[in-house]
Structure 1
Amino acid sequence: MGLPPVVQRPELPVRSHLTVGGWLTLFVVRPAWLWRRELAAVWALGSVSAWAWLAAGWLAGVAGPVLLVAWLAAVPWTRQRAVSAWRRGRLRRRWDRACRFAGLATVNDRIPRIVRHREVPAGDRLMVRVPKGSERAELEEAAERVAAVLRVRQIRITRDVERADLAHVDVVRRDPFDGTDPRMPARLPWPWRDRRQVSLWDPVPVAVDDMGDTITLSLPGRHVLIGGEPEAGKSTALSAVLAAGALDPNVRLIGLDAKRLELALWRPVFDRLVFNNMGDAIDTLDELIGEMDRRYEHLEQAGRRSWRPSDGPLYLVPIDELRFYTACEDRKAREAFNARAIDLAARGRAAGMILAPATQKPSTDVVRSSFRDLLAVRWAMRCSTRDASDTILGAGWATNGYNAAEIDISTRGVGWLLAEGGLPRRCKSYFLSDAEISDIATRGAALRRLAAGDRWI
């Protein structure tokens, strides 16, 4: 049988034995094409050297290219462009090799081709075009083999919504949230913290994903569930939503805070704030349901099915430590609260009611599945087990690689965010310090006094 080759080569999908032309194409022309930018740079330097030699002698022919390279390396802009071009070329060569070893080459010797490349904090983001006769699912199936050849942490592949032959490929090389990347500080400042006024009808920036893109949430018509173990960053994630509501004078904030701590700094902007009192919590939900019913009467008379900004304010209802209310020892009070919370979550979206509960693990014994399933936006911070992660995001996500139990315990504020109709995105929430929260709450209270007509401020 003979010994194995010294140099590993992928299997060639050819129909017959190689001819001389085929051998030259596979082992000379194709590798040269992958090195085309570098070869073009060498040719350009050689041309400069030859011109300088002919014009001023052999010394100029040697010194000219050396001075040119030194000048290009000394200028930051050209140096960065050169380094970036080298990295792109190196990635394309390694991608070509990885796809061939993963068995993605077609019978016509075509592989998924990189058509766009962008460097991101976690590694590289690519747009890839699959060859004719192939499909994106084959690339997804080979993702682990491609990642092994590239020697990276992970390959994530999603389909382009416009074209079936295009796929978005995230090459994850590092964890940008570990504190070593200067582009991703330990505490990300909220982009809207210095704004005088915002609108909750606009998409609210809440986090940055590991590709460096800002994640926004369109809150009207949606409820948000935030879960995770203690000190995972649930209150930090909730702060961005609360801050947007505070800076919108047309938002009514109704809060439930079992610990009396997480929402205390926001007290100036709350219309009502309930602590660890089940009777007050139930009465508050009754008032919200009454307002919801009045709004549906208004929509019925107007001949519409959803709330608009011109109809009146939105209601934002953050609930910290949801477990205290949904799993109360008093069975009668617990059942009353759960029934009202389910009704408000089921019917409140079209009436401008936004629920934002936070809890450690919304399992069935803590939060009824009939209530949890009505919360479309799920944000899973670090969890102790994969089952807890699936409880927040939904069954099966951990098996598909979206497991909040794998988040490093030292990276507070990092989690998986699943918006309605999408895939979970690994992200880090924006951070607001106590001083920034107090400042935003003060500005929000002033905006509400102005909206009420108190012009003396």
Structure 2
Amino acid sequence: MRVADFHEASKAADRLVDKWQEIAVVRRRRGVISMVGAGTTGLAGLVTELTVGPLVVAGGAVSVALAVAGRRKDGAGGRRTQLGSRSLAWLMNGDHLVTAFRDARLIGRDESLMLVKAPRHDGAGWALTLDLPPSRKASDVIGKREALASALAVDEVRLIVERVRGDDGHAGRLALWVGDADPYAAEPVPSSLASAASWDLWRPVPFGTTARGAAVNLPVVWTSLLIGAIPRQGKTFVARLPLTAAALDPHVRLIIADGKGGKDFRPFEQVAHRFIRGSREADARRLIRVLEECAADVADRFDRLSEMDDELCPESKGTPEITRDPAYGMPLTMIGIDEVQNFLGLDVPLDADNPKGKRIGGRICELLTYIAKTGPAAGYSLILATQKQDAQVIPDGLRGQLGTRFALKV
């Protein structure tokens, strides 16, 4: 370090007076070293010239001059290799957090952050709440989570960035959580459904846990669920969670069509009202008959609900009392179809005598769309799982009615 560097650093820290004597000592020491170095170099050059010759001295002088001229200066280009690695240090020093936000270009060089809640250990990680500078948006930080993770020197799977909403939040308030380790490398968390003797489907279904260990419950009444994932990514496991809850409720009617045709859903066959395995033409035609039966039941339920007393049915839709009473014959009904694309894409004429008429896949889509649109109020829910959930596989008329969607790797 040069004396000038020492002087500038002390001046920038408003400690020039405190460091003045120390700077003077360094200056004198450097002066003595420079004189001794220059004298030694001159003497060595003279001895070399007398013993070897002027050519070696001249070559050495040119090499030294080139080395001085080509040395790396502050701000200049060039490479500098350093051993070691960056580490997560912002929890110990708020200045590092500000620097990380600046490096990720989330705030300006002259802007800072305001800690609303100091860092605290929360579960298997650290959490804190902060306010961004005025006009900076939390949504922009969430969109650049990977850049922030790089600036913090942490894997992005360990970083959770959420906007704080409600009375305690605003558009510029963020909640950060950084896991002590990769939360997805831990042991799987057993579902509470595995040990449940029964389940009331009117309650949200245990669906999983977040990286922070918080339980996530999924409502399945009044909505339908679309699950998307490429093969071998857990699509079937996800679909079986709400279907397991339905199987554990003795008041629920379960209808399952396994478009893959394996044995993933075979245990449900013991309790299902209707069970279809495979996606061959005969299986698809049977699914049409089952869905037509369901569509007719939906229409019939609305006719009966409209005639019920307002105290029993105040909003012309099913209630727990109505769906659990066998006298009304309107149980909650869950329709689960795995690999639904195998049925929707079946390009076979519905009527063998009319090759250019409606296709089997189109008829299935038509029936599912009707049930998805009108069925929830009558106690019907759809659970559809597919490998690709774009408009070419699931038309917008059907996809737009599926209010809950969950994607793994797609």
Normalising by structure 2, we get a TM-score of 0.64
CA deviation string 1:66-109 (max 9, x = no partner): xxxxxxxxxxxxxxxxxxxx9895264532442455573796x7
2:152 and 2:202 mapped to 1: Cα distance? 43
In structure 2, relative to structure 1, the CA distance for the partners of 1:263 and 1:133 (3 Å cut) is closer
Counterpart amino acid of residue 322 in structure 1: V
1:89 and 1:366 mapped to 2: Cα distance? 47
User: SS at 2:192's partner residue?
Assistant: coil
Residue of structure 2 equivalent to 1:424: none
Q: Which deviates the most, 300-309 or 136-145? A: 136-145
Task: Give, in angstroms, the shift of residue 335 of structure 1.
Answer: 2.0
1:231 and 1:305 mapped to 2: Cα distance? 42
In structure 2, relative to structure 1, the CA distance for the partners of 1:329 and 1:110 (3 Å cut) is closer
CA deviation string 1:240-271 (max 9, x = no partner): 21111111111110111231522111112211
CA deviation string 1:144-194 (max 9, x = no partner): 55433311233553322212153222446754223xxxxx31x33112322
Counterpart amino acid of residue 396 in structure 2: S
Q: Which deviates the most, 203-212 or 131-140? A: 131-140
- RMSD between aligned alpha carbons? 3.5
Match of 1:159 among 128, 152, 163: 163
Count of aligned pairs: 303
Normalising by structure 1, we get a TM-score of 0.58
In structure 2, relative to structure 1, the CA distance for the partners of 1:198 and 1:173 (3 Å cut) is same
Task: Give, in angstroms, the shift of residue 20 of structure 1.
Answer: 5.0
Does the CA contact (< 8 Å) of 1:125 and 1:211 recur in 2?
no
Residue of structure 2 equivalent to 1:243: 244
Does the CA contact (< 8 Å) of 2:220 and 2:381 recur in 1?
yes
Match of 1:286 among 271, 283, 292: 292
Residue of structure 1 equivalent to 2:150: 148
**1:323 lines up with 2:329 in the alignment:** no
2:223 and 2:5 mapped to 1: Cα distance? 59
Q: Could you list the runs of 5+ residues in structure 1 that have no partner in the other structure?
A: 10-16, 25-85, 179-183, 383-388, 390-457
User: SS at 2:250's partner residue?
Assistant: coil
Residue of structure 2 equivalent to 1:231: 232
Residue of structure 2 equivalent to 1:353: 380
Larger Rg: 2
CA deviation string 1:256-308 (max 9, x = no partner): 12315221111122111123312210110011111111221233224514321
In structure 2, relative to structure 1, the CA distance for the partners of 1:120 and 1:231 (3 Å cut) is farther
Higher relative contact order (CA 8 A, sep 6+): 1
Percent of pairs with identical residues: 22
User: SS at 1:270's partner residue?
Assistant: coil
Counterpart amino acid of residue 336 in structure 1: R
1:5 and 1:210 mapped to 2: Cα distance? 46
Counterpart amino acid of residue 399 in structure 2: R
**1:310 lines up with 2:316 in the alignment:** no
Task: Give, in angstroms, the shift of residue 123 of structure 1.
Answer: 4.7
User: SS at 1:254's partner residue?
Assistant: strand
Residue of structure 2 equivalent to 1:176: 183
Q: Could you list the runs of 5+ residues in structure 2 that have no partner in the other structure?
A: 19-87, 309-313, 324-330, 351-359
